[in-house]
Amino acid sequence: MIAGRSTSSRFVSGIGLYAAIAAYVIFALFPIYWTLKISVTPERLLYSEGITFWPSQTTFQNFVTVLEATDFPRYFLNSVIVSVSTAALVTVIATLAGYAMSRFTFRGKAALALMLLLTQTFPLVMVIPPIYRVMGQIGLINSLTGLIIIYTAFNTAFATFLMQSFFDGIPKDLEEAAMIDGCTRAQAMRKVIVPLTLPGMGATLGFVFTAAWSELLFALMLISSDDQKTFAVGLLTFIGKFAVDWGQMMAASILALIPVCVFFGFLQRYLVTGLTAGAVKG
């Protein structure tokens, strides 16, 4: 009798778990589905058909218009340049900084960690005026280089903590054994530690790439030139004074999802391993 109740309880728990997962998947994917639906809906049916599961007719004209008659390809390329550059710079800096924070003891280490943590507490709106003034003085307004510098500065702190937690989970004995065998610390890090930190670096790359790819506030405030806009700012060009071109905006949004999906498809294995390993010290 007890065994029967236990089996029944596990069955009910399993049903509840799968129901919760299904609800989460629907909740997460519904905005993407709705965006895709609007992007392939002809403009004349957008309001006349009302709410339907899928339009009675579909068209790819919105995608053709976005790619051929707007500046979206340029915005897209600018976002790729900024996001890839930022992700690469932050990963290198955070890897070195995280290694130093994990392996070395030095005066002011706790204060440095506190300062890095405090940088994550300031509202971005509060720091825009001084950043805008500094960028203007050094000639980096309307510059992709300026965006890369700002994104790198704002993402390095969190990435450093992420890499530090990952390094903390790697036994120091591995480096010490390599140095006993004749390696310098730099060689031990390059030959022994770096291969073990690839999942952590993949997680950092994914986090920073996504943050830079979707960032709007700094790009909106610092970039006004059409040839320097990122796609996040470029989406606003589909909003007119009296109307919004929903079809083209949704088509541009779907196109903007492609590189993120491809990027995470390549890094999925490293992301899962890196985030879980970084959260639990070995």
pLDDT digits (tens, 9 = 90+) for 205-226: 888 998 999 898 899 888 888 8
**Which residues 6+ apart lie within 8 Å of 106 measured at CB?**
none
Domain co-membership, 55 together with 102: no
Instruction: Report whether pLDDT(276) > 60.
Output: no
* Number of domains the chain is built from: 2
Instruction: Report whether pLDDT(163) > 80.
Output: yes
- Mean pLDDT, residues 229-233: 89
pLDDT tens-digit series, residues 110-131 = 888 888 788 777 787 888 888 8
Q: What percent of the chain has pLDDT over 70?
A: 89
Residue 233: phi, psi to the nearest 5? -75, -35
pLDDT-wise least confident of 5-14, 166-175, 184-193:
5-14
Instruction: Report whether pLDDT(168) > 70.
Output: yes
DSSP conformation letters of the chain: -HHHHHHHHHHHHHHHHHHHHHHHHHHHHHHHHHHHHHHTS-HHHHTTS-S-SS-SS---HHHHHHHHHSSHHHHHHHHHHHHHHHHHHHHHHHHHHHHHHHH---TTHHHHHHHHHHTTTS-HHHHHHHHHHHHHHTT-TT-HHHHHHHHHHHHHHHHHHHHHHHHHTS-HHHHHHHHHTT--HHHHIIIIIHHHTHHHHHHHHHHHHHHHHH--HHHHHH---GGG--HHHHGGGGB-SS-B-HHHHHHHHHHHHHHHHHHHHHHHHHHHHHHHHHHS--
- Mean pLDDT, residues 186-203: 82
Domain co-membership, 116 together with 245: yes
Whole-number pLDDT of residue 269 = 65
- Mean pLDDT, residues 81-109: 89
Domain co-membership, 34 together with 122: no
Domain end, chosen from 59, 84, 99, is at 59
User: In terms of pLDDT, which residue wins out, 185 or 142?
Assistant: 142
Whole-number pLDDT of residue 270 = 62
| Alpha carbon of residue 247 to chain centroid | 25
Instruction: Report the C-alpha dihedral over residues 17, 22, 27, 32, rounded to 10 degrees.
Output: 150
Instruction: Report the C-alpha dihedral over residues 248, 252, 255, 260, rounded to 10 degrees.
Output: -150
- Mean pLDDT, residues 99-118: 82
Whole-number pLDDT of residue 83 = 93
Domain co-membership, 79 together with 51: no
Residue 264's pLDDT band (cuts 50, 70, 90):
confident
Residue 189 belongs to a domain: yes
Domain that holds residue 134: 69-279
Whole-number pLDDT of residue 245 = 83
Instruction: Report whether pLDDT(20) > 80.
Output: yes
User: In terms of pLDDT, which residue wins out, 108 or 66?
Assistant: 66
Domain end, chosen from 59, 85, 107, is at 59
Domain co-membership, 45 together with 116: no
Instruction: Judge whether 104 and 170 are in contact, CB under 8 Å.
Output: no
User: In terms of pLDDT, which residue wins out, 220 or 272?
Assistant: 220
Domain co-membership, 121 together with 227: yes
Instruction: Report whether pLDDT(152) > 90.
Output: yes
Average pLDDT, the chain: 83
Residue 64 belongs to a domain: no
For position 266, which CATH number holds?
1.10.3720.10
Residue 204's pLDDT band (cuts 50, 70, 90):
confident
Domain co-membership, 108 together with 14: no
- Mean pLDDT, residues 57-77: 88
Instruction: Report whether pLDDT(177) > 50.
Output: yes
User: In terms of pLDDT, which residue wins out, 10 or 43?
Assistant: 43
Whole-number pLDDT of residue 246 = 85
Domain co-membership, 97 together with 235: yes
Domain co-membership, 111 together with 239: yes
- Give the other-Cβ count within 10 Å of 35's Cβ: 17
User: In terms of pLDDT, which residue wins out, 11 or 277?
Assistant: 11
| Beta-bridge partner residues of 244 | 239
Whole-number pLDDT of residue 1 = 47
Residue 270 belongs to a domain: yes
Indicate the pTM of the whole model: 0.81
